[in-house]
Amino acid sequence: MKVLAIAGSPRRQGNTDLLLAELLKGAASKGAEVEAVFLQNLKFSTCVHCDSCLKEGKCRIQDDMQKIYDKLAEADVIVLASPVQFAGITAPLKAMIDRCQCLWARKYVLKIPPLSPMKNRRGFFLSVSGTRLKNMFEPSLAVVKTLFHVINVDYAGELLVSGVDEKGAILKHPEALQQAFQWGQKLAEGTARQGG
Ligand SMILES: Cc1cc2nc3c(=O)[nH]c(=O)nc-3n(C[C@H](O)[C@H](O)[C@H](O)COP(=O)(O)O)c2cc1C
């Protein structure tokens, strides 16, 4: 059981990273092999809409995204983590998702599996927002769910924490940290389902 976490916050060791670390601890406690990729540490371009992938089924841009494609294919569980920035996911995570256009092309144009080998993969979304404004997570959820749908990953749930702003503020929310740990356990056990 491989759990791949992709962390999209530009602020390393911030609230998203801390929450994600708990989730991964929970998954590891149930025997999962866990890996976190911090997009801030990678160098990759945005999608340039060159359409090469429509013919080739892969992205021609040779940069750190190539490692991500391999990791997505190996994973059984994919956790995307991002704070809310201007009501959506962060720019690095959006850029990573846009580079998955080649996986869209595989599925919808070339009619081949987006991720190979084929597996029953599950996906999870973790996010924090500085405000407590209603519906603040909706745009992020729409993007993340679209990616999971395109790459044939079953949506297993989400953990969304509002009102967490300064660096480390999540540490004042032990219940959220505990929920993250428990979600990690459930994801590793294969018992995580949408809705809890
Ligand atoms: C560029 C930027 C834009 C932000 N936009 C929003 C926003 O639209 N809504 C909101 O509730 N919080 C917003 N925030 C606050 C962050 O969501 C909040 O500080 C969060 O805890 C950061 O998580 P991190 O420590 O994992 O980076 C924004 C923060 C930044 C830096």
pLDDT tens for 134-169 read 999 999 999 999 999 999 999 999 999 999 999 999
Q: Is residue 195 part of a domain?
A: no
pLDDT in tens, 36-45: 999 999 999 9
Question: Across the chain, what does the average pLDDT equal?
Answer: 97
Enumerate long-range contacts of 187-191, CB under 8 Å, 24 or more apart: 187/3, 187/23, 187/26, 187/27, 187/32, 187/77, 187/79, 187/122, 187/124, 187/156, 188/1, 188/3, 188/26, 188/27, 188/28, 188/29, 188/30, 188/31, 188/32, 188/77, 189/30, 190/1, 190/122
Q: What is the mean pLDDT of residues 177-189?
A: 98
16 in a domain, yes or no?
A: yes
CATH code, domain carrying 62: 3.40.50.360
> What residue owns the CA closest to ligand 1's atom 15?
130
- Residue 92 falls inside a structural domain: yes
Question: What residues are in contact with ligand 1 under a 6 Å CB criterion?
Answer: 9, 11, 14-16, 83-87, 128-131, 133, 136, 164-165, 167
Tally the domains of the chain.
1
Within a domain: 132: no
Atom of ligand 1 nearest to the CA of 166: 19
Is residue 194 scored above 70 in pLDDT?
no
Is the pLDDT at 196 greater than 60? The verdict is: no
pLDDT in tens, 99-108: 999 999 999 9
Residue 188 belongs to some domain of the structure: no
Does any domain span residue 98? yes
Q: What is the pLDDT of residue 91?
A: 98
Residue type, 127: S
For the CA of 133, the nearest atom of ligand 1:
11
pLDDT band at 192 (very low <50, low <70, confident <90, very high): confident
* pLDDT band, residue 184 (cuts 50/70/90): very high
Look at residue 195 in the predicted model and tell me its pLDDT: 52
Report the separation in Å between the CA atom of 23 and the middle of ligand 1, taken as the mean of its atom positions: 20
Q: Is residue 181 part of a domain?
A: no
Q: Look up the domain containing 146 and give its range.
A: 2-121+137-176
Please report whether residue 190 resides in a domain: no
Distance 40 CA to ligand 1 centre (A): 16
Decide if pLDDT at 31 tops 60: yes
